[in-house]
Structure 1
Amino acid sequence: MELFKPGKVYDFMRVRRFWITLSLSLAFASLISLFWPGPNYGTDFRGGTEIEVAFKKKIDSSAVRHAVVASGQFSEPDVIEVQDPSHPARFLIRVQEISTVDEQTKEALKKALCLGFEGAADDANCPVSARATEVKFSAGGDKLGVRYDVEPDLAKIKGQVTSIPGVKLRAGGSDNPQVVNPRDHRVEIQLQSKGDQLMDVLKQQLGPEVAPDSALRVEWVGPRAGKQLRDSARNSVALAIVFIMLYLAFRFDLRFAPGVVIACVHDALVVLGAFVLFKKEVTLSTIAAVLTIVGYSMNDTVVVYDRIRENLGKHRGKSFGDIINLSVSETLSRTILTSGATMLSVLAFFIWGTGVIKDFAFAMVVGIVAGTYSSIYVAAPLTEWIDRRMSRGGGTTAVKKRLRAAKA
């Protein structure tokens, strides 16, 4: 399918300075925005506790934020409204607190559970049936694994745990604590998590007629895990770009590789800059979208490069700039059709999607636009500039000289 008249050649290179200046400005502004004001990292990268709730009545984000702060149990929360027609009062609430059990509370719990106690067997506070020989805390601090030498007294153990100020058992059943391994006398004790406490705060501050009965979703990530995820995400994008450069240098010519790499970096920066500008969360899904965009941009650029290489052999009398104009004009219909079809697909998710899907689609929409024009106005002009700089004599470009040598 041809959208443009066959044989028509458009002078893209004539306006390359404007587009290159615009691209450099966008990339530079995006790079600055990553340091100030900085990206809005999600729980995946920053660490913290995040709950997603749907209130029973319409409420604004400021009222939710005030309710959390007024409790005095949490730092200033991030409250984000989620657009969802089925839940008109749906919010994401994120706090920096992760565990309900700090080091001081852990030591108090160990002491209350009589860990390492060597007193008399008939001691009322630490009978043998409630004398722990091993206590392990989960990463989030909301679960304890306790081991005993004899059959444990669950009622006594429950009293030991609840005797610590600020420690509460998770509600929802009578089997807490419970024996999870009768043979080894292992007991599991579930404590209230920060998510549970956050739900209690909403019910106390807003009332049961407004606050939801339960959360739609509860997640937490520790600060160390968040840093590891952030480093891994950065490394994955960098490695993808490096291997793309090696692939292009092997398939085409070393002069072609920098153009597509700069185009891919440009597209990734523009997407991240758009996330900072619109104050959207940068999560693992965002990194997945950036990697998708890098691959999409490279694919589009390779199609243009392939046609440039083909036309370099056909039209030996033309300058490299004329070859680029001809090649881009010949692939323009394909580029618009491919980008248009992809754009229609992601626009549906962007318009009607919610939550993570909507943000992923937003990244794809921005990336498709940036990737399409960067193939024409970033990668190709940069390749022409590099070739011109490396050319040595006679007005014949270095790429043409290499092609002639290969055919000789």
Structure 2
Amino acid sequence: MYLFKKTNIDFIGLRRIAFIISGILITSGIVSLILKGGPRLGLDFTGGIEIHLKFTQPPSITRIREGLKSIGLGGAIIQQYGPRDENLVLIRCGTKESAKERLAQKIQEALREEFKEKENAFSLQSIDMIGPKVSRELQKNALLAVILSLVGMLVYITWRFELRFAVGAVVALIHDVLITLGALSLGNFELTLPVIAALLTIIGYSLNDTIVIYDRIRENLRSYRKRRFSFRKIINLGINQSLSRTVITSLTTFVVVLALFLKGGPVIHGFSFALLVGVIVGTYSSSFVAAPIVYSWERKGGEGS
């Protein structure tokens, strides 16, 4: 299926405008991060409290959240875990070590009020503290995961294509991550482990799109160099040939993620928002960042035109 039968957009000619737009977006995000003292770290990275409850009846996550809203904890992480017939619920929220007992008491009182129609609706199983040491370890591991993924991409694309293609792809991936982090900061979303997972997903999604375009460019280099096509024309041709596939894939993904953002609830808003931004930026960077960087590299070598 082709959304566009034939296009002839000069992506390379638009590269300077695209680079300016990217620079503005990245700068805006960095300024926001600086003004806010860095990303707004979630419970996974700052530490907090975990409360384990056992309900006598299958618990309603919606009602539990309503009960927590009354004490200002509507944004707490609430998860049902274990066998369904055991009715176990985990509540996670940020607090200091010295306040954990008082907070646990407030949570129990709020939930007893919410479930007041049934006496002894739940019992407290345990209270655990996520300390700063564990949180720092999570921060380190999350950063390491992103860096290793980028290094792995660089090695893989250098082996599959050439170094110039690998550099273009990795720069585009860093571009995507920076803009997404900036958007999260501007939107005041927390940086949590699910958001890190979203960033890694964005890296994979954007790379897949870039590889498709690179593959088309490589095929065209074999076919059209003999006809004395310029490197600029070959790159533009490759992007235009992939454009229909790129737009269709991105639109279908965007619609699914948009539904997740609108209907998925507040707990995954940060995750789905990061994916929304990442799908848009990743699609843009494959055509307007990665391939133009390959062209600029070639041009500096004296072969581009």
| Residue identity (%) | 40
> Greater helix share, 1 or 2?
2
Give the structure-2-normalised TM-score.
0.79
In structure 2, list runs of 5 or more residues that go unmatched: 52-60, 78-90
The answer to whether residue 147 in structure 2 is matched with residue 238 in structure 1 is: yes
Give the structure-1-normalised TM-score.
0.60
1:283 to 189, 192, 199: 192
1:299 to 193, 208, 214: 208
Q: What is the aligned partner in structure 1 of residue 232 from structure 2?
A: 321
CA distance in 2, matches of 1:358, 1:220: 25
Q: What is the aligned partner in structure 2 of residue 197 from structure 1?
A: 105
CA distance in 2, matches of 1:218, 1:340: 44
The answer to whether residue 290 in structure 2 is matched with residue 382 in structure 1 is: no
The answer to whether residue 56 in structure 2 is matched with residue 45 in structure 1 is: no
Q: How does 1:199-238 map to 2 (within 5 A)?
A: 199=107, 208=113, 220-238=129-147
1:250 to 152, 156, 159: 159
Cα distance per residue 1:212-240 (max 9 Å; x no partner): 97699987421110010011000100010
CA distance in 2, matches of 1:14, 1:315: 20
Match of 2:237, SS state, is helix
Match of 1:40, SS state, is coil
Q: What is the aligned partner in structure 1 of residue 19 from structure 2?
A: 20
Match of 1:49, SS state, is strand
CA distance in 1, matches of 2:33, 2:106: 31
CA distance in 2, matches of 1:255, 1:299: 17
CA distance in 1, matches of 2:300, 2:263: 49
Q: What is the aligned partner in structure 2 of residue 115 from structure 1?
A: none
CA distance in 2, matches of 1:388, 1:262: 17
* Residue 390 (structure 1) shift: 2.2
* Residue 94 (structure 1) shift: 3.9
CA distance in 2, matches of 1:299, 1:29: 27
Match of 2:26, SS state, is helix
CA distance in 2, matches of 1:254, 1:285: 32
* Residue 363 (structure 1) shift: 1.3
* Residue 348 (structure 1) shift: 1.9
CA contact (8 A) 1:80 1:93 kept: no
CA shift in 2, pair 1:194/1:222, >3 Å = farther
Match of 2:9, SS state, is coil
2:65 to 41, 54, 61: 54
Letter in 2 for 1:384: Y
* Residue 318 (structure 1) shift: 2.1
CA contact (8 A) 1:285 1:356 kept: no
* Residue 249 (structure 1) shift: 0.7
CA shift in 2, pair 1:344/1:94, >3 Å = same
CA distance in 1, matches of 2:35, 2:46: 17
In structure 1, list runs of 5 or more residues that go unmatched: 66-77, 83-91, 101-191, 399-408
* Residue 337 (structure 1) shift: 1.2
Letter in 1 for 2:47: G
CA contact (8 A) 2:202 2:282 kept: yes
CA contact (8 A) 1:46 1:226 kept: yes
The answer to whether residue 259 in structure 2 is matched with residue 348 in structure 1 is: yes
CA distance in 2, matches of 1:199, 1:211: 14
CA shift in 2, pair 1:218/1:358, >3 Å = farther
* Residue 33 (structure 1) shift: 3.0
Q: What is the aligned partner in structure 1 of residue 173 from structure 2?
A: 264
* Residue 4 (structure 1) shift: 1.2
Match of 1:281, SS state, is coil
Letter in 2 for 1:388: R
Q: What is the aligned partner in structure 1 of residue 55 from structure 2?
A: none
CA RMSD of superposed structures (Å): 3.2
Q: What is the aligned partner in structure 2 of residue 122 from structure 1?
A: none
Q: What is the aligned partner in structure 2 of residue 153 from structure 1?
A: none
* Residue 95 (structure 1) shift: 3.7
CA distance in 2, matches of 1:215, 1:306: 59
Bigger Rg, structure 1 or 2: 1
CA distance in 2, matches of 1:11, 1:36: 38
Q: How does 1:27-106 map to 2 (within 5 A)?
A: 27-37=26-36, 38-49=38-49, 53-55=64-66, 64-65=71-72, 80=75, 94-98=93-97
Match of 1:39, SS state, is coil
Q: What is the aligned partner in structure 1 of residue 276 from structure 2?
A: 365
CA shift in 2, pair 1:351/1:219, >3 Å = farther
* Residue 194 (structure 1) shift: 5.3
Higher relative contact order (CA 8 A, sep 6+): 2
The answer to whether residue 182 in structure 2 is matched with residue 273 in structure 1 is: yes
Structure 1 stretches of at least 4 aligned residues deviating more than 6 Å after TM superposition: 209-219
Cα distance per residue 1:105-155 (max 9 Å; x no partner): xxxxxxxxxxxxxxxxxxxxxxxxxxxxxxxxxxxxxxxxxxxxxxxxxxx
CA contact (8 A) 1:350 1:361 kept: yes
